[in-house]
Amino acid sequence: MDRIRVVGGRPLEGTVRISGAKNASLPALCATLLTDDPVVLSNVPEVRDIRTMGRVLGALGASCEFRVGGTVDARAARIDAVEAPYDLVKTMRASVLVLGPLLAREGRARVSLPGGCAIGARPINLHLQALARMGATIEIEHGYVEAKAKRLVGAEVQFETVTVTGTENVMMAACLADGETVIRNAACEPEIEDLAALLVKMGAAVAGAGTPTVRVVGRERLGGARHAVIPDRIETGTFVAACAIAGGEIEIQRCAPAHLRAVVDKFRETGVRIEEGPDNLRVRAPRTIRSCDVRTLPHPGFPTDMQAQYMALMTQAAGAATITETIFENRYMHVAELQRMGADIRVEGRTAVVRGPTPLSGARLMATDLRASACLVLAALAAAGETIVDRVYHLDRGYYRIDEKLRGLGADVERLT
């Protein structure tokens, strides 16, 4: 199993290019199931979760060809099977995104329930309730969701909690439903807007994406399209944090600063200098980092997917910072590993208090999920001596060659295979 070795203490310098967004590419790939025409997606990151989604689509009978450079030719000329099996769903819960499209196109879907994961219980009850409101009958049997509907009908769907993939599943299902669906308390993440942009290119009638009310008028059929996926805002934020913690000055290219408002504002508050261009950020680390509290929230708030990386930075800030995780109930698995490096962090319920600055020392660490792994790599950039991060497959799920990108900025990082 691959490991990453980091020797801390080198400031970063140079430029880094951001890849396409994993969390926009996953629903986009599922949206290709809504038509029998070809769909060409570009700027798709070549990360593990995307390959896994390729296998999920393959299991349904769709073809998915990955070209070098991040272009995917997808075509679901016909659907041979309507099942997302346990083995795939357990490795990647975003596989549940096939539920809406399959139900809409085939009238049937059988998707393994994903179960809990390293960051929380993460049920999909809200996806199921919404599809039931659209006329689907839903049964849970042997750990699988069995959903059926002759034809889905448009409905008023009011989400009691903001859910990103829930909003995406319903938007996709509604595209082929009979009549209008109104989604209230919809997620407003840029990935939702990107999915809507693709669906509209495919001929769907979607309005309001990016706001809490999304309206979709169902069509008889959708067609093919070409679409370039938005840049990954979490990868972008991770490089902002890397520069802030390692020191130095970098330029982050091919990103979308408009998608990172809360992140840019928060890092500026800590003293990081950030200059924004239309599709780039110049980041300069301060001499001393200020401690600032943060609370994760749905977009446009500070993203939960940046909480762990921000915590790594707060171990090097002067004073106490309170971090409150409001999205997932168990997203502090990185804390014990940061403590092993010398960090002073106390967790009570959903709140973590980080006191800094504490010198960190390199250690052998184990990653537990994608963003926790990124946090450990960042902490290692600031630590004295060598750190080995095990279970790099978590990183590879969502970051394209993060080791190479950091090395390109002058960090002492290598992958041990």
What is the footprint of ligand EPU within residues 102-131 (CB under 6 A)? 120-127
The Cα 252–Cα 261 span in angstroms is: 15
Cβ closer to ligand EPU: 163 or 316?
A: 163
Cβ closer to ligand EPU: 126 or 155?
A: 126
Cβ closer to ligand EPU: 143 or 277?
A: 143
CB of 278 to ligand EPU, least distance (A): 25
The shares of helix, strand and coil residues in the chain, as percent rounded to the nearest 5, are 35, 30, 35
Specify the DSSP element, H or E, that contains 408: helix 402-408
CB of 107 to ligand EPU, least distance (A): 22
For tokens 């096939």, name the residue. 98
CB of 93 to ligand EPU, least distance (A): 6
Cβ closer to ligand EPU: 248 or 398?
A: 398
CA atoms within 13 A on the CB side of 229: 30
Nearest to 344 by CA among 367, 366, 326, 360: 360
The runs of H, that is alpha helices, within 2-85 are 22-31, 48-60
Residue 398 interacts with ligand EPU (CB under 6 A): yes or no: yes
* Secondary structure (3-state) at 283: strand
CB of 113 to ligand EPU, least distance (A): 11
Residue 94 interacts with ligand EPU (CB under 6 A): yes or no: yes
Residue 212 interacts with ligand EPU (CB under 6 A): yes or no: no
Q: Which amino acid is at 408?
A: G
Mark whether 255 is an active-site residue.
no
Residue 35 interacts with ligand EPU (CB under 6 A): yes or no: no
* Secondary structure (3-state) at 256: coil
Residue 23 interacts with ligand EPU (CB under 6 A): yes or no: yes
Residue 371 interacts with ligand EPU (CB under 6 A): yes or no: yes
CB of 164 to ligand EPU, least distance (A): 4
What is the footprint of ligand EPU within residues 301-320 (CB under 6 A)? 303-305
Are 69 and 43 a contacting pair, CB within 8 Å?
no
Are 392 and 142 a contacting pair, CB within 8 Å?
no
Cα-based distances in Å from 25 to 101, 168, 192: 15, 12, 11
Instruction: Please work out the total of residues on this chain that contact ligand EPU, with binding judged by CB under 6 A.
Output: 24
Residue 327 interacts with ligand EPU (CB under 6 A): yes or no: yes
CB of 131 to ligand EPU, least distance (A): 11
The runs of H, that is alpha helices, within 148-260 are 164-174, 190-201, 233-246
Q: How many CB atoms lie within 10 A of CB 106?
A: 16
Contact characters 129-168, ligand EPU, x per CB under 6 A: --------------------------------x-xxxx--
Are 238 and 399 a contacting pair, CB within 8 Å?
yes
Convert 262-279 to b/e letters by CB count within 10 Å (16 or more is b). Answer: bbbebbeebbbebeeeee
Residue 26 interacts with ligand EPU (CB under 6 A): yes or no: yes
Cβ closer to ligand EPU: 35 or 52?
A: 52
CB of 157 to ligand EPU, least distance (A): 12
Residue 25 interacts with ligand EPU (CB under 6 A): yes or no: no
Residue span binding ligand EPU (CB under 6 A) among the ranges 207-215, 300-308, 354-362, 375-383: 300-308
Nearest to 29 by CA among 82, 69, 67, 72: 72
For the chain, the residue count is: 417
* Secondary structure (3-state) at 9: coil
Residue 58 interacts with ligand EPU (CB under 6 A): yes or no: no
Q: Which amino acid is at 311?
A: M
What is the footprint of ligand EPU within residues 351-370 (CB under 6 A)? 370
The runs of H, that is alpha helices, within 271-401 are 307-314, 335-340, 370-382, 393-398
Cβ closer to ligand EPU: 164 or 317?
A: 164
Q: How many CB atoms lie within 10 A of CB 347?
A: 15
> Of residues 64, 117, 175, 188, which has the active-site annotation?
117
Cβ closer to ligand EPU: 39 or 92?
A: 92
What is the footprint of ligand EPU within residues 235-294 (CB under 6 A)? none
- Interacting residues of 217 by C-beta distance below 8 A, sequence separation 6+: 154, 179, 180, 205
Residue 233 interacts with ligand EPU (CB under 6 A): yes or no: no
Cβ closer to ligand EPU: 28 or 76?
A: 28
CB of 298 to ligand EPU, least distance (A): 7
Chain residues binding ligand EPU by CB under 6 A are 23, 26, 94, 120-127, 161, 163-166, 303-305, 327-328, 370-371, 398
Catalytic positions: 117
